[in-house]
Amino acid sequence: MIWLIRLYLLFMGITYFLIGIWAVLDPIIVASETSIPSFQEAVGLKVASEIGYSEIAGIYGGLNLGIGIMCLIGIFRESIGIFSIKFLTLLTGSIASGRLISSFLPGMPTFYNSFFIFEICAVIIGISFLTALNKSKSNY
């Protein structure tokens, strides 16, 4: 079980860290016309003013970088690891809930997409780990 939790934290840490780097570097990626897809296009956003680049870098980039670093630290520090799992479970569950609720509004797209699947998987895995840790009360 311990190695599964650490593997999960490693996967989530790398995933969120790379998303953060991608979002922070997006203006450079767009300007350089590389083969790397734009973060804005991938998530369906469009910058309408200069502050938009800062918002993408701050909200998407900074937040994802922080989450990634937290998960990577959590591999080695039990208390941070457990907090990371709790935080990821709440975060991904909240995002999935927002997608589901908005899908009932007129003119909105369905909630079902690859991001939603990722979020639901993260919630299920997170709840499973937290339940197992709570039952065992052991260190990982």
pTM, full prediction: 0.86
Q: What is the pLDDT of residue 140?
A: 61
> Which residues are CB-contacts of 75 (< 8 A; sequence separation ≥ 6)?
6, 9, 10, 13, 81
Q: What is the pLDDT of residue 7?
A: 97
Q: Which residues of the chain have pLDDT under 70?
A: 138-140
Q: What is the pLDDT of residue 85?
A: 98
Task: Indicate the burial class of 5 (C-beta count within 10 angstroms; 0-12, 13-18, 19 or more).
Answer: buried
Q: What is the pLDDT of residue 119?
A: 96
Q: What is the pLDDT of residue 34?
A: 79
Which residues form the domain of 11?
2-136
Q: How many CA atoms lie within 13 A of 19 on its CB side?
A: 18
Q: What is the pLDDT of residue 138?
A: 57
Q: What is the pLDDT of residue 132?
A: 94
How many distinct structural domains can be found in the chain? Answer: 1
Three-state SS for the chain is CHHHHHHHHHHHHHHHHHHHHHHHHHHHHHHHCCCCCCHHHHHCCCCCCHHHHHHHHHHHHHHHHHHHHHHHHHCCCHHHHHHHHHHHHHHHHHHHHHHHHHCCCCCCCCCCCHHHHHHHHHHHHHHHHHHHHHHHCCCC
